[in-house]
A and B are shown apart, each in its own frame.
Chain A
Amino acid sequence: MIEVRNITKRFGGVVAVDDLSFDALPGRVTGFLGPNGSGKSTTMRCMLGLDTVNGGSATFAGRAYRSIVNPLYEVGSLLDAGYVHPGRSGRNHLRWMAMSNGIPTARVDEALELVGLTDAANRRVKGYSLGMKHRLGLAGVMLGDPGTVILDEPANGLDPEGIRWIREILTHFARGGKTVLVSSHLLAEIALMADDLVVIGKGHLIEQCSVDQFVARHSTKWTRVGAPEIERLLSAIGTSATSVTRLDGNRADVHGLTAADVGEIAARDNIVLHELSTQLDSLEDAFLRATADVQVYASTAPPPAASAPTSPPVAAPPPPRSSSLPPPGASGPSQDGPS
């Protein structure tokens, strides 16, 4: 378990992290979210004792990181896959790490095999692709089979396959009982793997909750309905809805009524329905809404299409949480969101 308590970090007059407290629990993936410049990386460096804090503390299973003698057995961290000497081979990079903590060399080969780098192990790192460096970094995390894993933006620059691989491996860690803390500035990416969220902005804690709770609090719900007699249905709905957006010939988005409400109205008037679903606006929109006031590097340029959502809405059946998330490649066509 990771316990962060009142961490404050200042760089001169700039407060990068301000009295930040949160927990990350065993057996769960905790997504550490915030816009660029919100203090995620600084917090992680403070947690690992790489940056000195101006106040507060972080403990791993009750112990400060600096007090752990062989931390690779307890905490595996990857702050940046590029923190490798380019002239050293991948295998030798892992070997020095293993030696420093008394980890047997055989474990290096096991870790390389786990990440699929055995064939490239003796090549110098400067010839590695970004994806290979990420795999090497994760092999380093796995060396001591630690109970806690900390990763800073592990999917940065990866292709979709690499992102999926990272996601699967982190989920696997958590299912094995490890505490996983992973940072990102993209909620959509984190939402696919995280159980809990810690959202920060400008160094402050905005929210700590489960992904379900976050989405419920910050996203808008509406009902999508499709019917051959859409005009008759919309007439029947009348002023019960707060607003209605026509999509195409036989479909509409109804705001202010649940799917059950619309279904009952249709049944009462004997109107055939072809589609009836609850919609949530995108997770990204929810995240942007939650962090709107704490964007450090907000763009002043107008969005390409001011009325369009940043990503397509998603169907939102009731919990469990995972069912509310967009499966890979399942997003529908771009449509008008709620006004």
Chain B
Amino acid sequence: MINSILDVEEQIVVKQKPAKPALQGPGIMSGAQAVLEAFLAEDVDTIFGYPGGAIMPIYDALYDYQEKLKHILVRHEQGGIHAAQGYARASGRTGVVFATSGPGATNLVTGLADAMIDSTPLVCITGQVFAHLLGTDAFQEVDVVNITTPVTKWNYQVTDASEIPLVLSKAFYIAKTGRPGPVLIDITKNAQLDKFSYEGYKRCDHIRSYRPKPVIRKEYIEEAAKLINEAKKPFVLWGQGVILGKAEKEFKAFLEKSGIPAAWTILGASAIPTDHPLNVGMLGMHGNYGPNVLTNECDVMIAIGMRFDDRVTGRLDKYAKQAKVIHLDIDPSEIDKNVKATVGVWGDCKETLPILTKLVEQKEHTEWLEKFHEYSKKETELVIYPELNPTGEKLTMGEVINQINLLTKGDAIMVTDVGQHQMVTCRYAKFNQSKSNITSGGAGTMGFGLPAAIGAKFGAPERTVIAIVGDGGIQMTIQELGTIMQTEVNVKIVILNNEFLGMVRQWQQLFHDKRYSFVDITSPDYVTVAKGYGIAGRKVSARGDLQPALQEMFNHNGSYLLEVMVAKEDNVFPMVPQGCSVAEIRLA
């Protein structure tokens, strides 16, 4: 617990402006002001929000805090929460959201569900009607706490101003510690308006009933090390836990000493560079050939900070049955949930990995690694090369991503929406540093990409942020172009337009006899739409125009929208069809 708080602070020292705004001392203060004081004490610098009746006292207080807290006015609350997610994922900090009561709050639900399943730390503040009106069907009254209970790590309704400092300190503590997640605090209007005797802000560092960080039990790690040392064909699967635990260095050290080939879930991508010799690629339904097939050949599987999602495992009763499984996770309910662990190591991998590294023998699994390379050769020949070097007239999604790689050298943050373009980006994008792949993994939320990219840029302003979106997803949250216009945030938007809801079309082609039921989607003239928002743009469909257009996009000072027309009926391969074992992965 103590360590994790230090981590946060360490990072803040690096990220924060040197002069920290002075905090208010004890005195009489409104609940609304106490919310903002809590933000300052928690080193919040950016809020994504949208005002409304029940949250007006907080917005009124914010008027006096404009110098200290940056507020990004989004165009829809869903855009606000996705932006906060992008901010959190790019920065490793907690995203903060404001929304009003009723529809403002219900518009957060999709983002909460997304953040919950993808373990993104958020603190969302919603306004609520006056406490005396609760349960009267008042204007814009919705039972927000109960609606959001299944999609929050914790939520709470404040009806008394004096509760605010303590509740907010708990909110930030819970969101960020253990397995992170979204927290929602619903504050009635009277609690925002009422004055109370403020006694200063104390950061929460302990809740009796909540144990986010277990002390490491060395005997389990010893058992794990023994299995690893005896293994002939060990295989590491890593997930976002490595990134959330800020354990990239520790993870790399473990891999390099043990010499074990490692594959990633899409949320784990970028924790180690794409071109690391032990990085053998992506797991799951559209992952790489070797990692999927060899899952069913390894003798010891080491899962680190991942949760064996069904899109990763395929058919469970045919998943790695031959392997002994070591599962490192900070959330004990994940151990044995989907895949039974031979050895479960409950703990923060930043702490468990160094102990494990010390205990494992220095090895090189050359022959075993070579097997991955053999599968990779076959995949390159049959899938990757044709995708990246197509001979057809139409552009492929893969070649667009490849061209982007050549220009960014793998230094950009890639934010994707959901669908074919997402899988293609995860497969082909090159990553040199951690926190570079921001995508909606567990929830698969279309509309995530554009707002998340906006948030990512605020979270990591020094980096290039590219939103890769499809023609379906962009239309779900296209209104956030307005946020880009107003804030002048520099986001590069690449729409891969195949004039279809491509992933659904792919499934209909493969599993529903080409009955293309309502996947034929039309698009507006995106370049004109962008122009309407004052955003530069261009549309390309010829191969020769692609590279210059991308170059123009990167050279442009400010946001830019590039629409790329790609082949209409391309499919993403390899693919593990639903209900099949990972070993039954198809290359075509």
Verify that A and B bind, or say they do not.
no
Interface residues of B (CB under 8 A from A): none
